[in-house]
Chain A
Amino acid sequence: MASKANKPKLLEKGRRRDGRALDELRDIRIKAGVLNNADGSAYVEWGNNRILAAVYGPREVIPKHFSNPNGAIVKCRYSMAPFSSLEGHGRSGQNRRSIEISKVIKDVFENVIILGEFPDSEIDIFMEVLQGDGSTRAACINAASVALASAGIPMRDLVYSVSIGKIDGEIGIDMDMIEDNYSDADMPIAVSPRNNGLLLLQMDGDLSESELKKGFDMALEAGKRIHNIQREALSEMYKGV
């Protein structure tokens, strides 16, 4: 959280800096099957976020001793490009933040991929944040979901993800970078829409019990729209095939 001294006003008459209502998502565009070499891929424009997700596999496990005769293992890498932020130059490669995010995203996809179909195999999910503007892990999960489906990997569900936040004391969804920096709480979730199970849940800041409830309600409502955009991207990919 950035210092409060130069905090901009995030809400004016119920509208956010970019004119959105609290329960409104940014513009989302998803294109599936954008890479040639990868078995599956997706490119996501989510507000100013630009995310590329690629899926390889199921393929042979390297190194071999990690392989599991009962099913596929999932490897996940979330990373932010050095040029992805407005300010400064990030270091390429993994840091503590990206290692943790990669781990919690791996937990999400291990739940939905039908791992048992691919013993002794690995499925790799690479998520590259080419441009970041807040809620990047949510955008990456949405991209990876579509990339996995486009690779033809059998899944129980098409997961979506959205962030819930407290902006100038009010509950809202899909925070951009400035809102995230000055928010009173940040709670990204990933949901399996068939049963609304929470596959990813992280939170820090300050939320009362009623605010928590309100945030979940808003996120599930927005999730319907995200889910539709994901499905459309996939059917678009097969048009003309």
Chain B
Amino acid sequence: MSGIDIVKSNYVKEIIKRGERLDKRGAFDIRDIKIENNPLFNAEGSARVNLGLTDVIAGVKAVIEEPHSDTPKEGNLIVSAELLPAASADFETGPPGPAAIELARVVDRGIRAGRCIDMEGLFLEEGKSISLYVDIYVLDYDGNLFDACSIAAMRALMNTKLPKYENGEFNMEDRSVPLKIESIVSSTTYGKFGDVIIADMNAEEEAATDARLTITTDGKAVKAMQKGLNGSFTIDEVERLVGISLKKHEELKSKMES
């Protein structure tokens, strides 16, 4: 962090501790969410999501593969995330680093624990099942990649139409089988500044926050959580934020379904 960065982050911290935000939002207000459905057509399903100025795109490819030996009657879900160097001066080229891996695994766990996809339904025949590769590209960064990527992955899966399986292979001419979505999960990510907690941090807020917490729910129960950065949350805070996330689910879900 340069001197300027430290001054800036102290300024952001102070504003938030006063109960305000640079963009005048309330503590738990989520920025505008815009979803573009199936912007790509080579992918089996895709979605581009704008969360404020954060811009991410997710594509789903379906591939016939051998099932995992511990789940011989199920398909696979593989979620990856790329922080493109195009998206921020702070993102570097090269294989995914710890930040991108954490991001992908948190999104993956939410979808998996939420049982959003019927994995057994992806089984084709002995030794063959469908692997769904969900790749999320971060195109432009303005904070809260966890929620933006979670929405993009979820929506891309909802948009997915699988090719017909004929004579042991996919017929790519006929991609008409909608992927069955069993449940929709939503994630909300919070940041902590002293004793003040806010949701949906932008890049400036994210650079200044002490601790981050992502909570994924299906509106009824918690499905996944991940705390990040070197600050801490109290148990009371976690319980309160879980309550807020459970309440926010309907609103986020209806955005994803629109």
Contacts and interface: CB of A to CB of B under 8 A. Distances in A.
Q: Do A and B bind each other?
A: yes
B102 A197 contact: no
Main SS of chain A's interface residues? mixed
Contact of A207 (B98, B221, B229, B231): B221
Contact of A111 (B220, B224, B232): B232
B161 interface: no
A67 to B, nearest CB: 13
A59 interface: no
A101 to B, nearest CB: 10
B240 to A, nearest CB: 10
A102 B234 CA distance: 22
A36 interface: no
Contacts of A103: 98-99, 101-102
Contacts of A110: 230
B242 interface: yes
Contact of A198 (B221, B229, B233): B233
Main SS of chain B's interface residues? mixed
A209 B239 contact: yes
A107 B228 contact: yes
B108 to A, nearest CB: 9
Contact of A201 (B73, B102, B213, B221): B213
Interface in B220-258: 220-235, 238-239, 242-243, 246
A161 to B, nearest CB: 12
Contact of B239 (A1, A199, A212): A212
Interface of A: 1-3, 96-97, 99-100, 102-104, 107-108, 110-111, 185, 187, 192, 195-209, 212-213, 216, 220
22 contacts: A1-B112, A96-B101, A96-B105, A99-B98, A104-B226, A111-B231, A192-B232, A195-B234, A196-B234, A197-B232, A199-B230, A201-B213, A202-B225, A202-B227, A203-B226, A204-B109, A205-B223, A205-B224, A206-B223, A209-B246, A212-B239, A216-B238
